[in-house]
Structures are given as C-alpha cells and as structure tokens.
C-alpha cells in the first residue's frame, strides 16, 4: 500500500466493525473498529499502514482519526449499551498526549455519545516511552468513564506485571497461537495465569481470533466472557443483528457444559473409588507400623503412583519418600521431617480432609522433580497422619476425565 496514495485519498478510508459477543447473553455487546481503505479495485486493511513506523506519526494519526470519526458517526445507529472498541498504539497516542482522540470523543459526547461506551484497546508492543506518562494519560481517560483494554495478550508472559500495574477493565487475549489441541503447555500455563490475574484485579477477559470451535470452547472454559473472531462473525462495514448467534452460542454453550460435567463426574467417581480402596486397605493394615503400611500400599499402587509419603497436619514429613524407579520401589530417607506447609492449597486440603474424613484428588500440575504432569491423592490415615500419593501421568492419561 502506498502511504501517499492513502493520504491523498483520505476520504476513501472508512471503518469496518467486528462484533464482540458475550458469554452471559449470547449476543453482541460491542464492536471493534478496524481501518479499511478503498482503492480502485478492492477494500484493503489499514493495519499495515498503522504499524508502519516509516510513515510519520501525524499522518497515521490523521488517518486513524478519520476512521474514528466515521465510526462514531455510524455508531449512532447502535443501541445505547453497545460498546465501541478503538485501537490505539501507545506510541501514537502519546505523540499528541492523546489530545486529538479526546477532542473527537468530546465532540461526539455533545451529540449524545456517552463515554463509558468507549473502550480504548491499547497496544504497548513497540512503546519506547515512559510507562508512567502513559498510565497518567490512561488514568485521565478513565476519569471520563472511558474503559481501558490491554490488546494482544497471548504468548508473552512478561506482560503480567504490566497488567497488574495498569489494572485495565478488559484483557484481550489472542488465541492465534492456539491452532491445534496439541499446543504447547506453556501457552496454556500463561493463559491460566492471565485468567487468574484477571479475576483478582476484576478485569473482563476477551478472547479474540477465535477461528475454530475448539478455540471457543477453550475461551469459555478459561473464564472468557467476551468472544471475537471469524468463527463467530467477520468484520463488516455494517452492524450485524445483535442476536444473530443467540441460538448457535446457546447450543455450543450447552455442549461445553455437558462435556465439562462429564469430566467432573469422572473426576468425582475416581475420587470415590480411590477413597473406597484406601478405606479397605487401611482397615486391613491399621495395626502395622507406618513404614510397612506405606511399602505395602506402594506395592499395590505400582503402575498407578510413583511417589508416596506421610505428613502430619502441619506439613512435617513423617516418613521417607517411597519412590518408584527402575522397576522397584526405593526409600528416600532425606525427605524425612521436611516441611510442606508452604505449598499452595496444602493446609487448606489438610483441613478439608480432617473435616470430611475423606481423601482429595488434586488438580493437574507439574511435579517439580520429574517435570511430569501429575495429580496427588491425599488421604487421612489416622489422627494427625496424612498420606500423599503422587499419581503418574501415564495412568492419568489412560483414564478419562483425569487429564
């Protein structure tokens, strides 16, 4: 695209709108404004133009603002609760200290636009300037009710502390990297952290670039409230009917729910079976000394577990580790009397077992020593004695609902 051609024909730039759907109502709650240019032959995206740093900032701002004006003019056709998402690059917005943007918004406010419908999607990827200055500006915007979204989150975990600092209203997570079910574990882990963080700071998660059904399912399962992408609706110069996907999304949602319920059902069935098994075992071997009991238990759990040990209710280990290696169980004395109370959920789970007098199956997590994905089954053996059984990945893999 020739930048000079665009500048000379600025009347030919115009907005496209991509709908954003919500999980709670299954309808359109907003539109992201995208820049387009109509040349002699076709309509092309202005994305490359806005990202081209060889084009002077003032030109890019001018084009950006032309798109925005037209978008806001057109948006008076929308119902009054529909949000308008506006892309702004941190560098560009700081170029004029955000003044032109605010001037345009004020101009439309006078015509009846309420500013709490505006969401600024800020991209900081190439930002070289002072973050404090940027935050100052964004906080100033907030005082007018304007919402802030952090754009293009996904594969980069370094953004986490930035998100904490900015505390935006919305986090936009890009699912482009999630193209197959075999995507790297690290991507899942980063998304999990983002999802936890968004919950803590009260930000809404928006998943974008949803192009396949499993990505929608992924978004739903990971706390996504807003969805956007070709799988749902292509960008267009017109606004779509808000309820265009109501039926489809409701059906998909029900599929996801029943899949998840089945998974949970197998999880609880497994937990019940394991509890039953432990009850019988402990009933039979309760008079044996602790080490013998543990070795006997290990023997019966070959091919299921790979590590067993006993702790008291304060997390001090009361037995060696019984560890499976090279086709036999060995004892690792060096673990005796270590303390595990610092581990996430440790005391909470001890208290649960103590009150319910039942064992607990943990979530899926990576074992620090073996690097494998595992679950731990913990069980109250007797007063102040809890056994921890680390279940191997190969066993979990072969049982439905445990991975």
Binding positions for Ca ion, rule: CB under 5 A: 87, 121, 151
Q: How far is the CB of 364 from Ca ion (least distance, A)?
A: 32
d(CA 42, CA 134): 37
C-beta pairs of 207-216 under 8 Å, 24+ apart in sequence: 207/172, 207/173, 207/175, 208/172, 208/173, 208/174, 208/175, 209/174, 209/175, 209/176, 210/175, 211/175, 212/179, 213/252, 214/181, 215/175, 215/178, 216/252
**Closest CB to Ca ion among residues 171, 360:** 171
Q: How far is the CB of 269 from Ca ion (least distance, A)?
A: 43
Q: How far is the CB of 37 from Ca ion (least distance, A)?
A: 18
**Closest CB to Ca ion among residues 66, 151:** 151
**Closest CB to Ca ion among residues 61, 353:** 61
Q: How far is the CB of 229 from Ca ion (least distance, A)?
A: 12
**Closest CB to Ca ion among residues 152, 242:** 152
Q: Quick check: 89 and 126 in contact, CB under 8 A? A: yes
- Per DSSP, 76 falls in state G
**Closest CB to Ca ion among residues 33, 350:** 33
**Closest CB to Ca ion among residues 33, 396:** 33
* The CA-based dihedral angle spanning residues 246, 255, 188, 87, taken in that order and rounded to the nearest 10 degrees: -10
Q: How far is the CB of 32 from Ca ion (least distance, A)?
A: 6
3-state per-residue secondary structure call for 336-355: CCCECCCCCCHHHHHHHHHH
Q: How far is the CB of 203 from Ca ion (least distance, A)?
A: 16
d(CA 215, CA 223): 13
Contacts of 52 (CB under 8 A, 6+ apart): 3, 60
d(CA 381, CA 354): 10
**Closest CB to Ca ion among residues 151, 390:** 151
Angle at 242 between CA 175 and CA 45, to 5 degrees: 50
**Closest CB to Ca ion among residues 89, 121:** 121
d(CA 71, CA 57): 21
Q: How far is the CB of 329 from Ca ion (least distance, A)?
A: 55
d(CA 241, CA 258): 28
Q: How far is the CB of 121 from Ca ion (least distance, A)?
A: 4
């Amino acid at each position: 695209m020739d930048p000079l051609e665009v500048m000379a024909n600025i009347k030919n730039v115009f907005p496209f709108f991509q709908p954003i759907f919500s999980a709670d109502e299954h309808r359109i709650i907003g539109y992201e404004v995208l820049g387009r240019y109509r040349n002699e032959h076709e309509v092309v995206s202005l994305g490359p133009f806005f990202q081209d740093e060889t084009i002077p900032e003032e030109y890019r701002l001018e084009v950006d603002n032309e798109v925005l004006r037209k978008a806001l003019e057109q948006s008076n056709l929308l119902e009054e609760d529909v949000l308008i998402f506006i892309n702004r690059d941190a560098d560009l917005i700081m170029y004029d200290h955000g003044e032109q943007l605010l001037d345009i918004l004020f101009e439309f406010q006078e015509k009846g636009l309420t500013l709490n419908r505006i969401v600024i999607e800020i991209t900081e990827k190439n930002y070289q300037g002072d973050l404090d200055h940027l935050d100052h500006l964004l906080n100033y915007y907030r005082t007018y009710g304007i919402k802030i979204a952090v754009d293009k989150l996904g594969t980069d975990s370094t953004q986490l502390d930035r998100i904490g600092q900015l505390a935006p209203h919305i986090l936009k997570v890009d699912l482009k990297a999630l193209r197959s079910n075999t995507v790297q574990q690290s991507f899942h882990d980063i998304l999990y952290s983002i999802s936890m963080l968004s919950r803590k700071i009260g930000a809404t998660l928006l998943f974008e670039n949803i192009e396949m059904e499993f990505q929608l399912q992924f978004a739903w399962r990971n706390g996504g409230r807003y969805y956007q992408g070709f799988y749902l609706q292509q960008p267009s110069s017109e606004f779509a009917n808000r309820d265009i996907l109501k039926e489809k999304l409701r059906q998909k949602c029900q599929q996801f729910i029943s899949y998840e319920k089945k998974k949970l059902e197998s999880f609880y069935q497994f937990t019940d079976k394991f509890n039953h098994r432990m009850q019988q075992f402990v009933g039979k071997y309760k008079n044996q000394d602790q080490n013998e009991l543990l070795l006997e238990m290990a023997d019966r759990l070959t091919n299921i577990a790979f590590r067993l040990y006993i702790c008291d209710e304060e997390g001090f280990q009361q037995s060696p580790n019984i560890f499976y290696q090279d086709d036999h169980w060995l004892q690792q004395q060096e673990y005796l009397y270590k303390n595990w109370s610092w581990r996430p959920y440790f005391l909470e789970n001890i208290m649960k077992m103590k009150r319910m007098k039942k064992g607990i199956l943990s979530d899926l997590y990576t074992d620090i020593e073996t690097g494998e994905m595992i679950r731990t089954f913990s069980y109250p053996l007797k007063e102040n004695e809890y056994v921890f059984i680390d279940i191997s990945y190969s066993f979990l893999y072969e049982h439905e609902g445990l991975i």
